Structure 1
């Protein structure tokens, strides 16, 4: 039986792939930073509608200060990632940009190891090494 997290992670990968393709197509005649702003507005509206219609809204004042801090840090990282990603897409091929962007997987493993104390077994480290090689092959193709 497939775990629920795996289904959502696979769907995330599909939508991330579509994001790169759609964004590259949409960047033809617009500045990358302005396009990121427009995209962010769409994301905000869609998520607000989703949360409201799903009945998941709660007062933000009920969140603990530490939660606000982590969500702010995540938002800053997301914003920086999106700005960098759209600039890279504007200048480069979507397949190469996406390949390098996915090297974040390696960084997640390292950050999770050091900051969240998550441990990977040998098989998982080998998988990460293979993915690193794949990213290098895709990103630096001639």
Structure 2
């Protein structure tokens, strides 16, 4: 299966996450909700890694790999803390689209840091994603 298949599945699960989290964060501290969600993710992710024998590769991870995975984890944690706080304060139909502005930011980062092509289609698409997210969030 191609990356497109997995990306669509990711979008479906991300949508489910937003809807389920909005209900789950009601009447509890958003930081506690994030901690609970993160604990479930840790158990689930290690379960998958163990089930598929992926854990054997842990010794082959470079120092650089560890550093960047740790930084990515910090970014994820900060994103989730902010996301759950936003969900506790605002409508899911507004929070989720603003969160997806990350798409436009990633397009820029791909161009700046990885030399990915900044084509007219990517510029237009990134602009449309940005405009669409803002229209949906604030309409």
TM range (shorter): over 0.9
Residue 65 of structure 1: aligned partner: 63
Deviation at 1:91, TM superposition (A): 0.2
Residue 131 of structure 2: aligned partner: 133
1:74 aligns with 2:84: no
Residue 117 of structure 1: aligned partner: 115
Residues of 2 paired with 1:91 and 1:131: CA distance? Answer: 23
The DSSP-based 3-state class of the residue aligned with 1:42 is helix
The DSSP-based 3-state class of the residue aligned with 2:54 is coil
Residues of 2 paired with 1:64 and 1:133: CA distance? Answer: 40
TM-score (normalizing by structure 1): 0.93
Deviating more after overlay: 11-20 vs 109-118: 109-118
2:52 pairs, out of 51, 54, 59, with 54
Residue 39 of structure 2: aligned partner: 41
Deviation at 1:57, TM superposition (A): 1.3
| Unpaired runs of at least 5, structure 1 | none
Residue 20 of structure 1: aligned partner: 18
TM-score (normalizing by structure 2): 0.95
Residues of 1 paired with 2:60 and 2:8: CA distance? Answer: 32
Instruction: Flag the structure with higher helix content.
Output: 2
Q: How many pairs are equivalent?
A: 139
